[in-house]
Amino acid sequence: MLKEFKEFAIRGNVMDLAVAVIVGAAFGKVVTSLINDVLMPPIGLLLGHVDFTNLFIDLSGKHLESVAAAKAAGAPILAYGLFINTVIEFVIIAFVVFMMIRPLNRMKPAPAPAAPAPATKECPYCCSSIPARATRCGQCTSEVK
């Protein structure tokens, strides 16, 4: 079992996957910083000095100042501002992945076209060749299914 695991771990696909996970995690951090530190502040400014990270609905009935204060108090909240940030992050990451995969898909060879249906078939009674759509043989006049 240890030998099988070693062969599995040394194969190129596993190493490629490990590198992809590490790069993906780093890319996620870059996108998170882009959203939180670059994109959302100007958007919040345009919408009237709104900080999306502190947009929440307090379900406890208490008046709490921020998401951090609500979490510290253990109050139930709906942090829809954080959700908006996460959705924007997802859209950006999905778009970048799409833009990376798109050229790779263009490089793949096109699938071979399906073989056309045969134009003729053989009569089971007289073994002559007849059109594929024929229901009766032209040679022996037998009905052909």
Q: What is the CATH number of the domain that holds 75?
A: 1.10.1200
Encode pLDDT of 21-60 as tens digits. 898 889 889 888 988 888 888 888 888 888 888 888 989 8
* Residues 125 and 100 grouped into a single domain: no
Q: Is residue 5 part of a domain?
A: no
Q: How many domains does the chain have?
A: 2
Question: Do 86 and 34 belong together in one domain?
Answer: yes
- The model's pTM is 0.57
Name the residue range of residue 64's domain.
18-108
Task: Give, in order, the Cα–Cα distances in Å from 121 to each of 58, 99, 136.
Answer: 75, 48, 11
SS3 label, residue 58:
strand
Q: Are residues 36 and 96 in the same domain?
A: yes
State the pLDDT at residue 121.
92
Q: What interhelical angle do 12-33 and 2-10 show, nearest 10?
A: 60
State the alpha helices, DSSP H only, in the chain. Answer: 2-10, 12-33, 40-46, 67-73, 80-107
pLDDT classification of 12: cutoffs 50, 70, 90: low
